[in-house]
Amino acid sequence: MTPREALHTYFGYDDFRPLQAEIVESVLAQRDTLALMPTGGGKSICFQIPTLVMAQANENKRLCLVITPLIALMRDQVANLEARNIHAAAVYTGMSWDKQRVALDNCLYGPYHFLYCSPERLESEEFRKRLADLPIGLIAVDEAHCISQWGYDFRPSYLKIAEVRALLPNVPVLALTATATPETIEDIQDKLGFREHHVLRKSFHRENLNYIVRRTDNKPEQVAHILSRVPGSAIVYVRNRKRAQELGEWLKANGERADFYHAGLTTKERNERQAAWTRGDTRVIVATNAFGMGIDKPDVRLVIHYDLPSHLESYYQEAGRAGRDGETAYAVLLFDPQQDPAKIRKRIIDTYPPKEFVESVYHKTMDFLQIGAGSGLGHRFALHIDQLCHVMKLPVLQTYSALHILTQAGYIDFEEEHETQPRVQILVPRHQLGEYNISREQAELLDVLMRSYSGIYTDPQYVREADKEDMHPILVSLAQRGIITYIPRSIGCSLTMTNERQIEIYLSPAIFEERQARFISKIQSMLEYAEQNQFCREQLLLAYFGETDAVACGHCDVCRALTADAVQ
């Protein structure tokens, strides 16, 4: 089967989009490949097609390991593949080990072609041992910029991918990202152990996308004005949850079909709000950057940034969610010249507080969790940041940043705002349930749980909220009667000790000063983009990503102003 035959057979397309065919051929030639494609460029096809082609030719290379940090995207892609009768599995944080084992067994013994996993799973020794036995023919690394310390979203867990390569020495890697500077491009290939540097890129130029900066000291009114002028689906990005809710409700009160979205909502709320926006029931979604990764909505006409992002990488990626259908779309950045420069510069001290403060947070957190010197290695703790900051008299925002710095330094593994599924353990043997006079609804749910989770009598098991609609009140009633133990779903932070508690810690220049300097440089680039009105905005963006020969776009606000001046 040729790549084009596979594309038509499985996905119904007659031909590839630009650059997809070259990436597929590179992977089939067993070359390590870094593919740079803008948002909406069709990245998933680039690893799905070569995997299906290889599977036809060699049963021992029928599986692709897809590493991505986005659980929602994993679930969506698995569902989409299964709908096409292509078997896929996913393993991620929150799944019981029994379920992980079943997924891995399916990939080993069944006709499975894709195994999605989060980078954190690669830290499990047992998971890595199982990987070595699987018929893996390709490793696909999505959001590959996360492995680079030059990147804007560095995640230490991504560094484990190189260790997995050692377990699968002859398996090529396809790294995919929508945003990478020249330094990041080199670093990704080095960190992933490319056998030779090999980059395939599509220009970041977007002919249909109009980049605009609007200067204003009244951002809510400006948002409303822009929405009145540009019809169609829209995203408004804001920096924090409070503003997302306030602006979303303000727009709704002013007659707009609007809603808000952030990571503090329940999974059900987030899914419902995204689905309503995708269908078009909601026109405008006001969101933090928790919204947008992996969304499949090509007809977004407008993306507004209410606040300045901290770097051009995230701005480009978020703005690029507009106009993926090729039709005219707008990316508008709101800029208050009086207040925004000071606000964005304040992020430097908030993101990189003094070293002494970081060291203080380390010891105060250890004391708060009652971890003594020389102990704690491997233990995981729920960490309530508000309580920590209240008891230890710490500023919240800088404490979050300090915990992330300590994670990058290797002392802890801090997970911010992760979600845990509900857990249930059944305490009463099946044959004794008749003594409790349980309702039919309770009996049906218990039966589902007993059939679905083999270890549910011995340990609390993570259970899916989809096992039964509105099962929370049923589980509460069963727990109140002593039939089960029930730990409800929660959203919170956790801290895992990757080292025993140290008496003193050391933050190297590579961990602190060098990253701080890069962050300051990115802040400055973002500010220059917003402040300047002499050079084409797309030209500036493309130059930032290494495309120094780009011509003026002709339709950003600067180009239009220059054209108007020339005509006059």
pLDDT value of position 195 = 93
Task: State pLDDT tens for residues 146-174.
Answer: 888 776 667 777 888 988 888 898 899 99
Q: What's the burial of 63, exposed, middle or buried (CB within 10 Å: 0-12/13-18/19+)? A: buried
pLDDT value of position 542 = 94
Beta carbons within 8 Å of 27's beta carbon, 6+ residues apart: 33, 46, 47, 50, 138, 172, 174
User: Residue 377 phi/psi, 5° resolution?
Assistant: -55, 125
Dist. CA 484–CA 379, nearest whole Å: 26
* CA-derived radius of gyration, the chain: 25
Place of tokens 């593949």: 81
pLDDT value of position 528 = 97
pLDDT value of position 568 = 46
For domain 353-420+493-511, say whether CATH 1.10.10.10 is its number: yes
From the list 175, 75, 160, 150, the residue with the least C-alpha distance to 125 is 160
Per-position b or e across 120-136, b if 16+ CB within 10 A of its CB: bbbbbeebbebbeebbb
Dist. CA 181–CA 539, nearest whole Å: 14
Identify the segments of the chain with pLDDT beneath 50. Answer: 567-568
Cα within 13 Å of Cα(447), Cβ side: 8
The fourth-level CATH superfamily of domain 209-343 is: P-loop containing nucleotide triphosphate hydrolases (3.40.50.300)
Residues in the chain: 568
DSSP state of 488: -
DSSP state of 502: P
pLDDT value of position 303 = 98
Beta carbons within 8 Å of 32's beta carbon, 6+ residues apart: 172, 173, 174, 175, 189, 192, 194, 195, 196, 198
Q: In sequence order, which ranges of 13-70 are alpha helices (DSSP H)?
A: 20-28, 43-57
- DSSP output for 404-422: HHHHHTTSEEEEEEEEE--
pLDDT value of position 59 = 83
Architecture per CATH, domain 3-201, reads as 3-Layer(aba) Sandwich (3.40)
User: Residue 428 phi/psi, 5° resolution?
Assistant: -105, 125
Beta carbons within 8 Å of 238's beta carbon, 6+ residues apart: 244, 247, 286, 287, 288, 306, 307
pLDDT value of position 408 = 85
- pTM comes to 0.78
CB 106 within 8 A of CB 63: no
